[in-house]
Structure formats: structure tokens, C-alpha cells
């Protein structure tokens, strides 16, 4: 077990592709760190540099108290789970799991004992004599995990280990992998393009975009307080509703934003808690509203004032809640690079992508498609971003 430190690590492939530029990240001892980002943003490359499978163009990587830049993978005391598992097809399950021990010169009877232990932990006892070809996807995934944990390395690296499983098994293995990591307590760097996986598994999540680190924080902090438009749009499902708007501040007390033809009032505390907004007086901003911060207008409560009118396009009743897709008459603000990633996760009906927005209503909502409704906006939880550089506007 050890901490991992990436210091200004960069990777330029021989063909000139800059896969990772200046990645600085520290992972604490025993921490489960998730690297998340859309496909092609350099996650795999970063992980492979930590593993020693890819040369580092510049920067330093430390595992524990050693700088490992020049160390071969075998000397880094790591274990890796590959996306396609990379099980050795000519070896039995037991031999696959025992292979790292065999390579490290562990005596035969101890190998047998530890393989047994790992197989039991993973529920593979019945399968130890099979070859990988005779296993199901979930079983192969477990064997790959077994091969990783058996040596008790100081660091686990996992590259989208669940992406080849079907949806149901993926959810199940998500919990299982997280539980296993907690149990063995080994520092883990876990790569995924799936933000749900990142949110549910990580102690902390590092969001990457185009070779750069956007933000590192706990899942909740990323969700509540994204540093950038990209993180705001990428984290959360259904994703944050983003619109370009104009900010008006009257005097010093309160203000409003103009969204299409509508005006949304901003109470004073929204402005005082985000002093940076003063600089955007009379200028365009991007406003972000989480679907759960939009609720059904019931004509009673007058508490925090913000209201918008919208036309209902589609209601998806999910049992525990209803997702109401609506049209505000304002186009969605497109964030480069998140659209495809969000669509990958399949939570936007394709014909609705690009227009309107989504609200989370209670399960018994009576709103009907084609009608106009009033949306109450939780203005205290609004997010504001600079439309030019995408940074969050806070102080």
C-alpha cells in the first residue's frame, strides 16, 4: 500500500498525438481514485504510464516513496485489471491467479494456499480447474480481479474493467469491486468513461478532458460544486440543464437572469454567495440547473421566487420519480466533448437531445405532454459559468 503522485506528467505519442498534457494528481494511501472522462481523453494512457507500459514524455510519477519513471512494470509492485481481462488462455483459472506469485518465486504450497484464498473470496472455488475459454464474462472478470489481489500489491490499476459486462452484471460487479477494494485496502486507480460508475465507486473522482485534468474531488463535491461547465455537464444523470442567459443586477441587492424571453429573479443571497457575478453585470453567462432543482409549480409556496414557464415534451415515469422533458424556448448550451459521452450513457432520448431540458418530478405528477407548466427553480442551487472559458463563477 502506498500513495501515488503524478507530477506534471505528459505523454506525446511518436505520431505527435498529445494524449496527456500536464497531469498532476495525488492519490492517498488506500484511496479509491476514479479517473473519468469521455473516450479519448487520455485515461488509459495515464494509467499505462503509472503501470510502466507506456514511457513518460515528461514529468514524474512516484509510488510510495520511489520515483518509478525508469522502473519496469514488474518492479513497480502493481497489479492491473485490463478492459478485456487479458487472461492467459492456456492456463487454468488457478494457474492464472497464481501466475504473479509464480513469477515472484513464491513456493508452490504457498501459491496453492493463496490461490485458494483468493478463489474463495471471489466465489471461484468451483472453477479453478477451468480454462478461461470455459468461463462466462462475469467469471472471467472475477478471475482477473483474483489475479490482481493475490499478490497483495501496493497499487491496483483498473482500466474500464466492467465495460464488457452486460448492464445488470455491471451494477452488481460495481458494488463487488468497491467492496473488495475496501476489504483489501489497496490504493486503487480506476479508469472509466461512465460517470455513474465514477460517482458510485470513487472515494474521489478525477475528471479528465482532452488530456487535461479538469477537477478532482469527492463525488458529492463534484456534483454540488463543479469547477467548470465541462464537469457540470459531464457529472450527473440526467445531466445538468445549461442555458445561455443575460445577467442583470439592479443596485446591489438582487438581480435577475434573462432566459429567452423569460425573467428569472435572483434573491440577494444568490449574489452575495457568488461575489464573482458582479463582474458579469449586463453580460451573458451560462446558467446551470440540476433536474432535481426544478420542481412542479403548485401555486402555493412563494419561498425563493424563481419561476419559469415551459412546454412539456415528454414524461418518463420511472416509478420512483418522473423525468419531465420540457422546452423553455431557449436552446441548450452545448459543451464540447460531453454530448457524445452523455449520449453514451443513454439517458437522453435522442430526439430531445439539443433542445429543452429535464426536470425530476415526483412519481405522482399529473403533468401532461403538450401542456404548458410552471417550473419552480431552486435558485440557491443554481450554477453560473463563464461562456467563454467555461469556468464556474463563484468569487
Counting contacts by CB under 5 A, is residue 44 touching Mg ion? yes
Distances (CA, A) of 1 to 4, 27, 305, 326: 10, 11, 52, 49
Spatial CA neighbour of 5 closest among 60, 62, 43? 62
- The C-alpha cell 425573467 sits at 263
Cell numbers representing residue 223 in the block: 456534483
Q: Furthest-apart CA pair in the chain: how many Å?
A: 79
Smallest gap from Cβ 245 to Mg ion, in A, equals 36
Binding other proteins by CB under 8 A: which of 33, 49, 85, 257?
A: 85
What number of other Cβ atoms are within 10 A of residue 179's Cβ?
10
x-marked contacts with ligand ADP along 9-48 as a string, rule CB under 6 A: ----x-x-x-x-----------------x-xxxxxxx---
Smallest gap from Cβ 41 to Mg ion, in A, equals 9
Smallest gap from Cβ 333 to ligand ADP, in A, equals 24
How far is the C-alpha of 214 from the C-alpha of 230, rounded, in Å?
Answer: 8
How far is the C-alpha of 47 from the C-alpha of 64, rounded, in Å?
Answer: 16
Question: Toward Mg ion, which CB reaches closer, 36 or 173?
Answer: 36
How far is the C-alpha of 170 from the C-alpha of 158, rounded, in Å?
Answer: 14
Question: Toward other proteins, which CB reaches closer, 94 or 242?
Answer: 94
Asked if 89 and 132 count as a contact pair (C-beta separation under 8 A), the reply is yes
Binding other proteins by CB under 8 A: which of 6, 9, 61, 87?
A: 87
Counting contacts by CB under 8 A, is residue 134 touching other proteins? yes
Counting contacts by CB under 8 A, is residue 74 touching other proteins? yes
Q: Are strands 284-289 and 357-361 parallel, antiparallel or unpaired?
A: unpaired
Number of residues that bind other proteins (CB under 8 A): 34
Counting contacts by CB under 6 A, is residue 161 touching ligand ADP? no
Residue 116 DSSP SS3: helix
Smallest gap from Cβ 47 to Mg ion, in A, equals 8
Binding residues among 35-64 for other proteins as defined by CB under 8 A: 51-53
Asked if 298 and 284 count as a contact pair (C-beta separation under 8 A), the reply is no
List contacts with other proteins (CB under 8 A).
Answer: 14, 51-53, 72-74, 78-80, 82-90, 99-100, 103-104, 131-135, 137, 140, 147, 151, 157, 164
List contacts with ligand ADP (CB under 6 A).
Answer: 13, 15, 17, 19, 37, 39-45
List contacts with Mg ion (CB under 5 A).
Answer: 44
Amino acid at each position: 500500500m502506498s500513495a501515488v503522485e503524478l507530477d506534471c506528467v505528459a505523454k506525446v505519442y511518436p505520431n505527435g498525438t498529445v494524449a496527456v498534457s500536464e497531469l498532476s494528481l495525488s492519490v492517498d494511501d488506500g484511496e479509491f481514485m476514479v479517473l473519468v472522462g469521455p473516450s479519448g481523453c487520455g485515461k488509459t494512457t495515464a494509467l499505462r504510464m503509472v503501470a510502466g507500459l507506456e514511457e513518460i514524455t515528461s514529468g514524474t510519477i512516484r509510488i510510495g516513496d520511489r520515483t518509478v519513471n525508469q522502473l519496469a512494470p514488474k518492479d513497480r509492485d502493481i497489479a492491473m485489471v485490463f478492459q478485456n481481462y487479458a487472461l492467459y488462455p492456456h492456463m487454468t483459472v488457478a494457474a492464472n491467479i497464481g501466475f504473479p506469485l509464480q513469477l515472484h518465486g513464491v513456493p508452490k504450497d504457498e501459491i496453492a494456499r493463496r490461490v485458494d484464498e483468493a478463489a474463495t473470496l471471489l466465489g471461484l472455488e468451483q472453477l479453478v480447474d477451468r480454462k478461461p475459454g470455459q468461463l462466462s464474462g462475469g467469471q472471467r472478470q472475477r478471475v482477473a480481479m483474483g489475479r490482481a489481489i493475490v499478490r497483495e500489491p501496493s497499487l491496483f490499476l483498473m482500466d474500464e474493467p466492467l465495460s464488457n459486462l452486460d448492464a445488470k452484471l455491471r451494477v452488481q460487479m460495481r458494488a463487488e469491486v468497491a467492496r473488495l477494494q475496501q476489504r483489501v485496502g489497496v490504493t486503487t486507480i480506476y479508469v472509466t468513461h461512465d460517470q455513474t460508475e465514477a460517482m458510485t465507486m470513487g472515494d474521489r473522482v478525477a475528471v479528465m478532458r482532452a488530456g487535461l485534468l479538469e477537477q478532482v474531488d469527492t463525488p458529492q463535491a463534484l456534483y454540488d460544486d463543479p469547477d467548470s461547465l465541462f464537469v457540470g455537464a459531464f457529472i450527473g444523470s440526467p445531466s445538468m440543464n445549461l442555458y445561455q442567459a443575460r445577467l442583470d443586477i439592479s443596485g446591489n441587492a438582487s438581480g435577475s437572469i434573462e432566459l429567452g424571453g423569460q425573467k428569472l429573479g435572483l434573491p440577494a443571497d444568490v449574489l452575495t454567495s457568488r461575489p464573482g457575478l458582479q463582474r458579469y453585470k449586463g453580460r451573458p453567462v451560462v446558467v446551470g440547473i440540476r433536474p432535481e432543482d426544478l420542481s412542479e409549480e403548485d401555486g402555493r409556496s412563494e419561498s425563493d421566487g424563481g419561476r419559469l414557464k415551459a412546454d412539456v415534451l415528454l414524461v418518463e415515469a420511472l416509478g420512483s420519480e418522473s423525468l419531465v422533458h420540457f422546452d423553455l424556448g431557449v436552446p441548450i448550451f452545448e459543451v464540447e466533448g460531453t454530448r457524445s459521452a452523455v449520449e453514451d450513457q443513454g439517458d437522453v432520448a435522442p430526439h430531445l437531445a439539443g433542445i429543452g431540458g429535464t426536470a425530476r418530478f415526483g412519481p405522482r405528477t399529473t403533468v401532461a405532454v403538450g401542456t404548458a407548466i410552471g417550473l419552480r427553480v431552486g435558485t440557491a442551487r443554481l450554477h453560473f459559468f463563464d461562456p467563454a472559458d467555461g469556468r464556474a463563477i463563484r468569487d
